[in-house]
């Protein structure tokens, strides 16, 4: 029997509201909130998965 490696990838997703003057500022603000752990994704935010054999 052969041995294979499989890569399993999970995607988490959460929608948050951000107040900003434009889309770029909203993205920066969301990034900073995520980076500062003000936004934390967990198992309830599961969106999708994929499995690839390499």
Element (H or E) spanning 32, and its range?
Answer: helix 23-35
> Which pLDDT score is estimated for 25?
98
> Which pLDDT score is estimated for 31?
98
Global pTM reads 0.76
> Which pLDDT score is estimated for 7?
98
Tens-binned pLDDT, residue by residue, of the chain (54 aa): 999 999 999 999 999 999 999 999 999 999 999 999 999 999 999 999 999 999
CA distance 4 to 54: 7
> Which pLDDT score is estimated for 52?
98
């Amino acid at each position: 029997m052969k041995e294979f490696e499989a890569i399993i990838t999970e995607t988490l997703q959460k929608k948050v509201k951000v107040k900003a003057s434009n889309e770029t500022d909203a993205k920066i603000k969301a990034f900073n909130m995520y980076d500062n752990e003000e936004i934390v994704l967990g198992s309830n935010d599961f969106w999708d998965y994929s499995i690839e054999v390499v």
